[in-house]
Amino acid sequence: MYYIVTGAAGFIGANLVKALNQKGVTEIIAVDNLTRADKFSNLTDCEIADYLDKQEFIDMIEHGQFDGGIEAILHQGACSDTMESDGRYMMANNYRYSLSLLNFCQEQEVPLLYASSAAVYGGGNVFREEREFEAPLNVYGYSKFLFDQVVRRRLAGADSQICGFRYFNVYGPRESHKGRMASVAFHHFNQYRSSGKVKLFEGCDGYGHGEQQRDFVYVDDVVKVNMAFLESSISGIYNLGTGRAQSFNELAVATVNACRALEGLPALPLADLVAAGLIEYIPFPDALKGKYQSFTQADTERLRAAGYMEAFAGVEEGVADYVNWLAR
């Protein structure tokens, strides 16, 4: 019996493969699209049974070649580019692909754990898993939103576990292939290493310089939640964030000070880092106006009610750990 991880060479997918390995699981089929081949490096320290191209995997599913042979599917495969303008591609890659796997898992009574996104909430300021608060701003968010609606309709009559996680701003190891879509923490680290400073947006939407806030969640915590639910039979759609919004200033301070620690230098407060030119504010881009979430904070009430009680790392802890990993 195989575990299937889609998007396995990607950011969260590769971390899930590694976590399964740490639990002694190696009968894993890694599914991805390696058109961009550099993602392969995320799996070089992982043990898998086989690798399948995404289209080959879909064809095998449709022709019954995995019938009776799958333990669970952890579906992370998707286009996560929030600036993607090709709606046909986005809906085929994110929505239809997910729907095919949902149908298969229900027919085979196989657990399906899948990646949704906080992008379903759009520009609102209430992040609770209820329809009235969902209004995506882009086709990426809409593709995730639409699949969540299908899941909601099917949950009551489901024959096996269906569990969706609305990821907030995830950062951590194995994301370097994402380029401009990599986390802010990743870009801050590289900015500091290359230029000796971190750049933040000036104020917008009523927020001061660098004071826009996001729910930044470390990938290790994302993996822990997935593993905990995989071991349960709990279904539903859950926010996966820390439940605590932190500012881009806090993230930048954590990144710069973690880098300074590697250089044997003392930590400095925000005001001193700005005065020293180590944090710099730049004009807010016109291209992002009206498409930018200046505040996100996961409502974690349902996640906690489902029994997940582990603490989440704040940026101070998570970024320090990540910087040490990046600097290896």
Helix (H) or strand (E) holding 9: none
Residue among 62, 15, 59, 6 nearest 34 (CA) = 6
Distances from the Cα of 323 to the Cα of 244, 246, 298, angstroms: 21, 18, 24
Q: Are 292 and 285 in contact (CB under 8 A)?
A: no
Selected catalytic residue, list 3, 95, 97, 140 = 140
Angle between helices 248-262 and 184-195 (to 10 degrees): 50
Round to whole Å and give the CA distance between 41 and 61: 26
57 three-class SS: helix
Strand 246-247 relative to strand 213-214, pairing: antiparallel
Residue among 49, 108, 51, 114 nearest 77 (CA) = 114
How many beta carbons lie within 10 A of that of residue 176, not counting itself?
15
Helix (H) or strand (E) holding 60: helix 54-62
Round to whole Å and give the CA distance between 197 and 193: 8
Selected catalytic residue, list 18, 178, 199, 224 = 178
Asked if 140 is an active-site residue, the reply is yes
Round to whole Å and give the CA distance between 229 and 59: 28
Asked if 178 is an active-site residue, the reply is yes
Q: Cβ contacts of residue 61 below 8 Å, gap of 6+?
A: 100, 101, 104
Residues designated as active site: 140, 178
